[in-house]
Structure 1
Amino acid sequence: KVDGGSRRWGSQFLDPVVSVYEGTYDSKADYDAMKPANTLKLDKFGGVHPTLYPGGGVHVTRGFVQVKETGIYEFRPGYGGSTNNIMEVDGKEVHRKEVGEDPVRAEIKLEAGKKVPFKITYLSKDANGLGWIVRMDVPGALSTLVKHKGMYTYLMNEQGQWVARDDVWYKGVIAAAGSRWLGVSGSRIGPELGFGHVIGDHYDKPVLILKTSQGNRSLSWDFLPPGSKRFEHGGKIYAGYKESPLSWEKGADPKPINWYAGKQYDDCFGAAHEVLDNFDKQFPHWKGRGYKIEGFAWWQGDKDRYNEGHAIQYEKNLVHLIKTLRQEFKAPDAKFVVATLGQTAKDSAKGNEKLILDAQLAVDGTSGKYPEFRANVATVYTHPLSQGGASNSHYNGNAQTYMDAGLAMGKAMIGLINP
């Protein structure tokens, strides 16, 4: 997660009153010393349907703020045109957005249960009680790590704003959709953020990070690569590519469902082909340049843990996946980086989790098990990088886990590209 998550404000504000002053906003005017033309106590401030402002002049809202938890907060007052305002909390300016300009915000530490005054001065005729409040020092959130822990400082400028790279483009399809210069956008990040920074720092030419993904999918069923054959385990037959259902009793006739082995593979990599087949249209800023696939990165395995047959077959399927992707995308020399599940430790893994960990470690070119992967496949052991939680809980949304895993995968990729 990027921060504590913005939520509509409301109950944190006490005794809000809006005063209306004649004329249009004047930056030199002292509205605290002026007599308002109209004053209205706001029965509802914030939420979805706040009390309507009177209109007809310069609106200034005053009252008190009282939070339930001690912490560092950011205020985002207004919606649409009403974001053009200046907000002060406890005498400190926490938000300023001039008309036509980007907002400038400052965080403020507030104590639980302590009432402090606030004031919002609206700079245009658009004024209302809508607004959002964000806890900025939530443990594990990216904003906490950058602003208060001094980590990954390159993600933010001196004004406390997230900055994007101008040499690495992010394109996400299926899930995590997006098309923009690589940077923090929205409320969540993935390993591609750290990965993209490492790759971008290495090259002096533009980089495309193409992410095609979908959560809660297994390699041995949803992402099963083309050409995979059915197999038998525990008295059951497990589906091969394009077969359905997932498994059936040996000797019985399979009864297909509305999904088949490899459906997610087809969807995700079909979407990747669609992007690359229309490269100039997708990336007009690179029109005519063409592209070269340098590598693939794979961080997966959670769902395979819940099926012994899938866990046993994981290594065979992972080897086949690596070879199939290189062949399908006509990139035989592309490097391949695999990351292990963060919760799985080498010295304590058992059962299905050990099978998957061992499979992921086995494809590393230095293991010697697959000579054809020497110097072109690397596995990142992420357990030392995990800050807690597990893959099925997205590591509790801890941004450090995702950043460090992405950085490590990027370094592993560069190690293969430039040994």
Structure 2
Amino acid sequence: MTRLPRLCPALLAICLSASFLAAADPADPVKVFILAGQSNMEGKAANALLEHQATAPETKAQFAHLRDQQGWIERDDVFIKYLNRSGPLTIGYGSPNKTGVELEFGTVMGDHFDEPVLLIKAAWGGHSLYQKFRSPSSGLPSEEALQKELEQAQKRVTQNNEKRNRNDPLPTMDDIRSVYGSSYRAMMQEVQETFDNYETLFPALKGRPLQLTGFVWFQGFNDMFGDHAPGEYAANMERFINDVRKDLDAPNLPFVIGALGQNGSTPAKGAMLQVREAQMAMNDVPAFAGNVKAIRTDVLADKEAERLFPGWRDHFEAWQKVGSDRPYHYLGSAIWFNRIGRAFGETMIELLPTE
């Protein structure tokens, strides 16, 4: 397994120049935040829903601070890199034609800091902490577990070959092993590439050093499934935090965790409760006191979206004014995603060291 080089202090001290903040000291660092996770970190609130609710009399007050007379604000002090997209923070940096927690999180950070802010988002739907986001110190699952996974994968390919008259090769053990940690490595690559290229991506930041300032983790749904993932989540999460800090050379990097909350106003149970409790358990790790905090996202539920989701096809016109997706994506509620993003920002501020 190839390890990505750590982002060393020398990289964090690269000199750039900023034109849009000429009045500020060009030596002031850019505050960098990493936002990582699976589909809900991608962002699933439809832009069309934000457009509607931003002008609807009953909801527009909740979006007023994100808009001006021309429409959605494009901040000149907060920037975002999300895979192949980059630019000033505004709506639309979620899944295609959608928005996520980055909008309100970046707004809170931009309002808090005098220095410019850069968000690096690395998120891929359906990726578990047990497998693809598995960090280096978690190693690989047991040989018994890997062998079982290989047999299941080979069975699926065999059945598909027979059904579709194909001759696809059967997966090998190397194929199975290579998936573990692949998203962790891709996340680190995103960070590295952004640090390497941000003066080209964001000319307004030219002349400023970068300062890695915080990390937000919003993930967990796929760890509800499988024989081992729910039970191993707490241990894997603790190792993930330690590995991220080690690989980024940031020993006390503030870490905010959005605990599973798709249950909304309904009490969580089963594997969802198990994973949520594992996430919340990070608040009790002695070494994480004051620099890691997990928060509940179910308590921020959009109750109107919850009310209208049952039988949504029968009242589609009303539904599309409050939601845009299924419960596992927080109903695609712009209000719910914005509340979560704001809570992430406010929690991050609690963790930031006082200067």
- Please, what TM-score do these two structures have when normalized by structure 2? 0.68
In structure 1, distance between residues paired with 2:91 and 2:334: 11
Contact 1:340 / 1:380 at 8 angstroms: preserved in 2?
yes
Residue number in structure 2 paired with 1:355 = 274
Contact 1:157 / 1:163 at 8 angstroms: preserved in 2?
yes
Residue number in structure 1 paired with 2:341 = 406
Residue number in structure 2 paired with 1:147 = 55
- Which has a greater percent of helix? 2
Q: Identity over the aligned pairs, expressed in percent?
A: 30
Residue number in structure 2 paired with 1:206 = 116
Residue number in structure 2 paired with 1:371 = 286
Equivalent residue runs for 1:3-18 within 5 Å: none
Q: Tell which has more relative contact order, 1 or 2 (C-alpha 8 A, sep 6+).
A: 2
Gap change, CA 1:246 and 1:386, over 3 Å in 2: farther
Equivalent residue runs for 1:229-378 within 5 Å: 229-232=139-142, 237-238=144-145, 246=149, 255-257=173-175, 259-344=178-263, 348-364=267-283, 369-378=284-293
Residue number in structure 1 paired with 2:6 = none
The residue type paired with residue 169 of structure 1 is F
Residue number in structure 2 paired with 1:35 = none
2:320 is the counterpart of 1:385? no
Residue number in structure 2 paired with 1:166 = 76
Contact 1:166 / 1:181 at 8 angstroms: preserved in 2?
yes
SS in 2 for 1:154: helix
In structure 1, distance between residues paired with 2:132 and 2:276: 19
- For structure 2, the 5+ residue unaligned runs are 1-45, 153-171, 310-324
Structure with greater Cα Rg: 1
1:182 pairs, out of 89, 102, 108, with 89
SS in 2 for 1:278: helix
The residue type paired with residue 307 of structure 1 is G
In structure 1, distance between residues paired with 2:293 and 2:328: 25
The residue type paired with residue 139 of structure 2 is K
SS in 2 for 1:209: strand
Contact 1:245 / 1:257 at 8 angstroms: preserved in 2?
no
* CA deviation map 1:139-163 (0-9, x unaligned): 992123321112121222224x111
Gap change, CA 1:245 and 1:412, over 3 Å in 2: farther
CA-atom RMSD, angstroms?
A: 2.8
In structure 1, distance between residues paired with 2:48 and 2:267: 25
In structure 2, distance between residues paired with 1:193 and 1:380: 18
In structure 1, distance between residues paired with 2:254 and 2:64: 29
Of 255-264 and 378-387, more deviation after overlay is shown by 255-264
- Which has a greater percent of strand? 1
Residue number in structure 1 paired with 2:129 = 219
* CA deviation map 1:209-234 (0-9, x unaligned): 111111111010011001213345xx
- For structure 1, the 5+ residue unaligned runs are 1-137
* CA deviation map 1:251-282 (0-9, x unaligned): xxx73336521111112221221111333333
Contact 1:294 / 1:335 at 8 angstroms: preserved in 2?
yes
Equivalent residue runs for 1:31-46 within 5 Å: none
